[in-house]
Structure 1
Amino acid sequence: MTVLVVGASGATGSKLVEQLLFKKNKVKVIVRSPEKLPASWKTNDNLQIITASLLDLSDTEMREIVKDCNAVASCLGHNLTWKGVYGQPRKLVTDATRRLCNAIKSNKLQSTTKFVLMNTTGNRNRDVYEPISFAQKCVIGLLRLLLPPHVDNEKAAEYLRTQIGQNNSFIEWVAVRPDSLIDEEEVSNYEIYASPTRSAIFNAGKVSRINVGHFMASLITDDDLWTKWKGQMPVIYSKSNLQ
């Protein structure tokens, strides 16, 4: 299996790449600064490093990159700096999702391509009933006004939900919603739910980045798991942090 990972140099994206390589997949990554990648990646025959800014690639270049990929995974996010939060590109995740999906569709492959998007529990799945409190609605409303990355995450998932949908001939998708991310060295037990079981604002759970990477890699490589969650927005919590 060949998988393209964008956002691979990030804290969670790097964990996904490592999990995919551990499972003996071929992995492509698109990064602006390959010198920041682990030295072991640069000597791994199963890893292809493409040095580029994703949104600067032409449509032709993007089609060429994805044409032999069985899956595409996005762990893109905005850097937590003033420029990263309020600078351009404000629609990084949404624009990347749209352009990658357009590239997949334009290749018109006979088999569908899996698309896995890392999202957030702060975003509701509007395909199902996910009630939240009035107070949380108010806070989310403020986040939309004050934090462009939150709107970007919402719009990226909405693109998959409404524009790709459930019956696309070329793309199947899952949007993974982790709660508060923490760093741990090893994969631990985690739980997957169709919707949040706690408030993302007032009672957030936690999940390790390596667990998110493990779940995303498992979705890509395990067809039964994929069938269970395709077209949905599963929520992931580390089991030790559910209390």
Structure 2
Amino acid sequence: MTTLVVGASGATGRLLVGQLLKRGQQVKAIVRSSESLPKQMKDNPRLSVIQASLLDLSDSEIAAHVRGCNAIASCLGHNLTFKGLFSHPRRLVTDATRRICNAIESTGATDSIKFVLMNTTGNQNRDLNEPISSPQKCVIGLLRLLLPPHVDNEEAADYLRAEIGQDNSVIQWVTVRPDGLIDQDEVTPYTLHASPTRSAIFNAGKTSRINVAHFMADLITNPKLWNQWQGQMPVIYNEE
């Protein structure tokens, strides 16, 4: 099996590449700079590194990278700097998600392809009408006005949920929602939920990036787990 990882040079993307390689996957990694990947990883014969910014690629180039892949995982996100939060591309995750899905459909693939999107618990699954408190609604409203990355995350997930939908003949998807991201060296026990069990604003939990990478890799390689969460937006927390 071959997986394309977009945003592979990021803090979680690098870990996902490592988790997939451990599982014997062939991996294509799109990175802005190959220097961000450990030498041991770059030397792995099952890894192909594509140095590029996804949105700078043409439609035909994206289709060429997607062709032959059984799964695509997006760990794209905005850097937590002023430029990363407020400059272009403001719809990095949404535009990448849309272009990848268009590329999948353009290849004429007949077998279903998995798409795993890393997102956030600050984004609701509108298919489930997840309840949130009035104070949290106010804060989310402010985030939509003040922080373009929040709207980007919402629109990317909504594109999969509402436009690709549950019955697409080629694209199956899962949107993974971690809570407050932290760094840890090793995979630790974690819990999975259909919806948040705590407030992402006022009572946020913790989720290690390595646990997110582990879960995303398991989704891609474990058919039973995929069937459990396909078309959903599971929330992942570190076990307390």
| TM-score using structure 2 length | 0.99
- Residue 116 of structure 1 aligns to a residue whose secondary structure is strand
Higher deviation after alignment, 26-35 or 118-127: 26-35
How many Å apart are 1:221 and its aligned residue? 0.3
In structure 2, the residue matched to 1:118 is: 118
- Residue 28 of structure 2 aligns to a residue whose secondary structure is strand
How many Å apart are 1:110 and its aligned residue? 1.5
Matched, 1:203 2:235: no
In structure 1, the residue matched to 2:149 is: 149
Equivalent runs, 1:45-194 vs 2, <5 Å: 45-194=45-194
How many Å apart are 1:70 and its aligned residue? 0.2
One-letter amino acid matched to 1:201: I
Mapped to 1, the partners of 2:33 and 2:210 lie a distance apart of 22
Mapped to 2, the partners of 1:226 and 1:217 lie a distance apart of 10
How many Å apart are 1:129 and its aligned residue? 2.5
Q: Deviations over 1:44-98 (max 9, x none)?
A: 1000000111001111111111010000000000001111000010000000000
Runs of 4+ in 1 over 4 A off after TM superposition: none
Mapped to 1, the partners of 2:36 and 2:183 lie a distance apart of 19
Mapped to 2, the partners of 1:229 and 1:108 lie a distance apart of 25
Root-mean-square deviation (CA, aligned residues, Å) is 0.6
- Residue 95 of structure 2 aligns to a residue whose secondary structure is helix
Mapped to 2, the partners of 1:96 and 1:168 lie a distance apart of 18
In structure 2, the residue matched to 1:16 is: 16
Mapped to 1, the partners of 2:204 and 2:102 lie a distance apart of 34
Mapped to 2, the partners of 1:2 and 1:79 lie a distance apart of 28
In structure 2, the residue matched to 1:39 is: 39
One-letter amino acid matched to 1:196: P
Mapped to 1, the partners of 2:156 and 2:10 lie a distance apart of 18
* Number of residue-to-residue matches in the alignment: 240
Mapped to 1, the partners of 2:129 and 2:197 lie a distance apart of 13
In structure 2, the residue matched to 1:234 is: 234
| TM-score using structure 1 length | 0.98
In structure 2, the residue matched to 1:215 is: 215
How many Å apart are 1:39 and its aligned residue? 0.7
- Same amino acid, percent of matched pairs: 68
* Unaligned residue ranges in structure 2 (runs of 5+): none
Q: Deviations over 1:89-119 (max 9, x none)?
A: 0000000000000000111211100000000
Mapped to 2, the partners of 1:224 and 1:129 lie a distance apart of 26
- Residue 12 of structure 1 aligns to a residue whose secondary structure is helix
Q: Deviations over 1:190-222 (max 9, x none)?
A: 000000000000000101100000000000000
How many Å apart are 1:36 and its aligned residue? 2.1
Mapped to 2, the partners of 1:190 and 1:36 lie a distance apart of 27
Mapped to 2, the partners of 1:141 and 1:129 lie a distance apart of 17
- Residue 11 of structure 2 aligns to a residue whose secondary structure is coil
